Amino acid sequence: MNHKYKRNGCWSKHGEIWADKLEAEPSSEFGAYELIRTAYFDGEEDSKEPVTKEESYFREKLKDVETPLYYGCPKYTKVSAIMGLYRIKVKSGMSENYFDQLLSLVHDILPGENVLPTSTNEIKKFLKMFGFGYDIIHACPNDCILYKKEYELRDTCLGCSASRWKRDKHTGEEKKGIPAKVLWYFSIKDRFKRMFRSKKMVEDLQWHFSNASVDGTMRHPIDSLAWAQVNDKWPQFAAESRNLRLGLSTDKMNPFSIQNTKYSTWPVLLVNYNMAPTMCMKAKNIMLTLLIHGPKAPSNNIDVYLAPLINDLKDLSSDGIQVYDSFFKENFTLRAMLLWSINDYPTLGTLAGCKDFKNDFGRPLERNNKRKRSDLCEDDEYGEDTHQWRWKKRSILFELPYWKDLPVRHNIDVMHVEKNVSDVIVSTLMQSAKSKDGLNARKNLEDMGIRSNLHIQLRGKRTYLLHAAFWLSKDEKKRFCKRLARFRGPDGYCANISNCVSVDPPVIGGLKSHDHHVLLQNLLPVALRGLLPKRPRVAISRLGHYFNRLCQRVIDPEKLISLEYELVETMCQLERYMKTLKAYVKNFATLEACMAEGYLAGECMAFCLKFLQNSLSVPEVVNRNEGVDSNSLVLEGRPLHKATQVTLTSKERDIAHRYVLMNMAVMDPYVK
């Protein structure tokens, strides 16, 4: 027998189940009881206390747990049936109209004395007991103020005098009661309380406390210099393992995809870094906190919309909130700290308040006398970070009492930078519209007095640009595109790049961020062999290697002396989550409302199903390769196509053997 199966002690080829999957599971009635109890009690139950209103209501709702779906039903209670059906709605994206029809049909099919609700509204009323909801805050259409606190009763904006209410597009009549712009706020305090009601989640939230790196490498933000400095600066905060450390991210999102490029919705997301690196960026652990209404971007006025979130973060950092820990069965004071933000360059300028950030690196330009960047590099007049002309506002993030003392406040998203670099390289090689080797670039070389062999040549009335070392002929472009079109990667490795490549005529376009990630780090160095001279090919390979070092799961600071000593943050998972928000849109007349309702339904189901795993009638959606037997020691897969027999030469076998050896951790001391 194969030694791997001897070692694991389980044969899985005939449908046997691994031993770790045979654990006893609680009954569905017990899970439903725990679910209802957590909805009404923030702390432990105490039988000595007099019966309160909440406890009385709890006992009333407890009847729903014990009530069978119909008389004599052996499996489903009212609660488990509601959760199972509502889960189908959430997973399939079914509209409320169709779900109402399904409920009515199932209600009629069941015996006459069944207790199944017949409408979505009845189910929503039932789910409200768990505290799921959002605050709808009216906003000025010009992003001046939020109509809350002292402005709550006003009908016009104090700054721009714009009406609070929407106007009819045709008649211009004011629609009293219908706001012109809305902000959706999902309370983070309620979300944090729910997190500690799950015993498994409480364990996950303390992962960071005992899993710091011991070999000096960085696998998680806990191993970064910023995390260590926060621990030293605020030791009382660091002493409580359950205190939360967060990251903030926001970016514009077009719910219409390519249907309407002008519309811009801005979700604000929070990431929890207490959990393991394999969990903190999963969609179920990414928290939607704000949803800013379109169609215009808030731009410099984004601080107006961040105010509710910042107020809660200030409370969480100073006083904290009382939370019941279901794992330790005790109440404690929970505090949270925002460590940094993760954004691309334009959004970083919006949040931080840097002037002209996306165009001129924060240096102002004279409108009547525009200068080249080569001139700006020599002018240090505005070089100081504290110069007033480099800033257009004081960010609302500085209202957090600890923000000014954080060593790293903003992280540049490596995903967007890598995409831009890869896009420029491909465009320049293919000589497309985005190429950086154009007439203006050659004029800059002349102005700077370098690369005389690439200067513009005038022959009569025509202007000629001499070929650079990275120039590709039409035949070479076809060979390059053909190599990319024939690439086939493992399942899930990347999208089908061949769909974005045309061989005749040679054109590359439509690549997504992850496609550029694979292209720059893995494919370009191979695809350009024999097409470019050695020096430009090495330059492109070094760029790919640079980003490859940044994107490793384990980073050795000693090997990254030329880079910052901070763990790289990427928005790749966050932008994928924004795609999930787009999928919630069913009515394009109320985009943000659909997203808010869809997100809330998903949150509610994720919370409830932790208690009702045995009551589900629909299995979890699994990936295509989930059915392949594998565990941490036996990794298997399935072939992409029919097998073909290949005989390796001695040289090819040596190359493969050397590649495996050079990528093994045990060989690192010998490689050095």
Residue 650 pLDDT exceeds 90: yes
Give dist(CA 99, CA 596) in Å, integer: 18
Q: Please, what is the average pLDDT of the chain?
A: 78
Task: For residue 458, give both structure tokens.
Answer: 């005038």
Alpha-carbon distances, residue 365 vs 9, 270, 357 (angstroms): 71, 35, 12
- pLDDT tens sequence across 283-307: 888 899 999 988 888 888 899 999 9
Mean pLDDT of 586-594: 80
**Integer CA distances (angstroms), 379 to 355, 361, 531, in order:** 17, 13, 40
pLDDT at 23: 42
* pLDDT tens digits for range 367-382: 344 444 444 444 444 4
Query: If you average pLDDT over residues 444-465, what whole number do you get?
Result: 88
Counting residues of the chain whose pLDDT is more than 90, the rounded percentage is 21
Ramachandran class of 177: left when φ > 0, alpha when ψ lies in -120 to 50, beta otherwise: left
- How far, CA to CA in Å, does 412 sit from each of 110, 268, 355, 417, 418? 56, 16, 17, 8, 11
Decide if pLDDT at 446 tops 80: yes
Q: Per residue in 551-581, pLDDT tens? A: 877 777 666 655 543 344 555 677 777 778 8
Residue 387 has pLDDT above 80, yes or no: no
- Secondary element (H or E) of residue 341: strand 336-343
Name the 3-class secondary structure at 272. Answer: strand
Q: Cβ(120)–Cβ(103) under 8 Å?
A: yes
- What stretches of 375-500 adopt beta strand conformation (E)? 410-412, 457-459, 462-464
The residue-averaged pLDDT of 238-259 equals 85
pLDDT reported for residue 3 = 44
* pLDDT for 38: 62
Residue 634's closest CA among 102, 183, 5, 92? 5
pLDDT score at 368: 40
Q: Please state the domain extents for the chain.
A: 3-130+611-615, 135-179, 186-353+393-413+569-583, 415-559
Per residue in 119-144, pLDDT (tens digit) is 888 888 777 776 678 889 999 999 89
Whether the predicted pLDDT of 66 surpasses 90: no
Cα–Cα distance measured from residue 292 to residue 296, given in angstroms and rounded to the nearest whole number: 10
- Lowest-confidence range among 469-478, 535-544, 630-639, 662-671? 630-639
- Lowest mean pLDDT across 243-252, 336-345, 356-365: 356-365
Inter-residue contact 629 to 16 (CB < 8 Å): no
Could you give the angle at which helices 534-550 and 414-430 cross, rounded to 10 degrees? 160
Question: Taking residues 381-401, what's their average pLDDT?
Answer: 73
595 neighbors 585 (Cβ within 8 angstroms): yes
pLDDT at 264 over 80: yes
The pLDDT value given to residue 316:
93
pLDDT band at 25 (very low <50, low <70, confident <90, very high): very low
Q: State the Cα–Cα distance between residues 138 and 166, nearest whole angstrom.
A: 11
Does the predicted model carry a pTM greater than 0.85?
no
